[in-house]
Copies of this chain bind each other. A is one copy, B any other.
Amino acid sequence: MSPDELSRAEATPAEARRLFRAGLVTPTAGWCRGFAQANLLAVPRSMAFDALLFAQRNPGACPVLDVIDSGEVTGAVLGEHADVRTDAPAYRIWRDGELAEEVTDAREWWTDDMVGLLIGCSFTFEHPLVEAGVPVRHLDAARNVPMYRTNRPCRPAGRLRGDLVVSLRMIPEDRVAEAVSISARFPAVHGAPVHVGDPAALGIADPDSPDFGDPPVSEDGDVPVFWACGVTPQVMIMESRPPLAITHAPGHMLITDTPDHDFAVP
């Protein structure tokens, strides 16, 4: 581990959020070891029921860790003194399903009636994978995880619909079973993989060109393993075209005060 990786891994969530609030823009993979990171989907209250229902109906892709109701800026999971509007390294502002802007501070767009859904992130089970000796290639390479749109439709909710997005980890063949069983213990953060093997089965034509994040790193004998991904709501926004939505930028997550192991089942 380089000194930089060490300090990223050992930063407290409050320290990391303070850096991001001050303007540091960086993917959060590998940051604040042991603390859960969250995807963000924020919509005006008029759309909040459909958004929460979309999450409830697609719990693999959109496991809800907490909801920051209108008028609030943090919650039990994110932590005291946090601010959902400023504490991710980067945000995306969506208007009518188009990416209007990418910003480091979302306060200008965060209307009084905005409701923020914090959605579980597969980074949460990466630490247990590493602890078990399963290599996580994008962490080793200090890259963002590769993410892809698939041909699998999510279950719609009201006017909200869209295809499933997955993250990819290249896993040595003899560690795949372990990767499955370890991640299965974390149903609140996507749980077990949705697919092991041929990317074409998910409609992914070229794994080297991910739709989000960085290209995959692999070694001989690695097998592609795909997990449902919290970027799914961003594709839902593109397809459903709500008037206004705010998300984190892919891979640039909200780091919460909640330990990863809080989301493990016995």
A: residues with CB less than 8 A from B are 45, 48-49, 52-53, 56-57, 64, 66-67, 69, 76, 115, 155, 157-158, 181, 184-185, 187, 192, 265-266
Q: Is the CB–CB distance between B266 and A181 below 8 Å? A: yes
Q: Is the CB–CB distance between A187 and B53 below 8 Å? A: no
Copies in the complex: 2
Q: Is the CB–CB distance between A64 and B69 below 8 Å? A: no
Q: Is the CB–CB distance between A69 and B184 below 8 Å? A: no
Q: Which residues of B contact A76 (CB under 8 A)?
A: 155
Question: Would you give the shortest CB distance from A194 to chain B, in whole angstroms?
Answer: 15
Contacts A/B (CB < 8 Å), 26 sampled: A45-B49, A48-B49, A49-B49, A49-B52, A49-B115, A52-B52, A52-B53, A52-B56, A53-B67, A53-B69, A56-B56, A56-B64, A56-B67, A57-B66, A57-B67, A69-B157, A69-B158, A76-B155, A181-B266, A184-B265, A184-B266, A185-B266, A187-B187, A187-B265, A192-B266, A265-B265
Question: Would you give the shortest CB distance from A240 to chain B, in whole angstroms?
Answer: 15
Question: Would you give the shortest CB distance from A142 to chain B, in whole angstroms?
Answer: 32
Identity of the chain B residue whose Cβ is nearest the Cβ of A70 in the assembled complex: B158
A45 to B187, CA, bound (A): 29
Question: Would you give the shortest CB distance from A54 to chain B, in whole angstroms?
Answer: 10
Identity of the chain B residue whose Cβ is nearest the Cβ of A52 in the assembled complex: B52
Q: Which residues of B contact A53 (CB under 8 A)?
A: 52, 67, 69
A52 to B66, CA, bound (A): 12
Q: Which 10 A-B pairs have the closest CB atoms?
A: A49-B49, A265-B265, A48-B49, A52-B52, A184-B266, A53-B67, A56-B64, A56-B67, A187-B265, A49-B52
Chain B CB within 10 Å — which of A45, A48, A181 has the most?
Answer: A48
Q: Which residues of B contact A67 (CB under 8 A)?
A: 53, 56-57
A56 to B63, CA, bound (A): 10
A249 to B141, CA, bound (A): 57
Identity of the chain B residue whose Cβ is nearest the Cβ of A75 in the assembled complex: B57
Identity of the chain B residue whose Cβ is nearest the Cβ of A65 in the assembled complex: B56
A171 to B219, CA, bound (A): 53
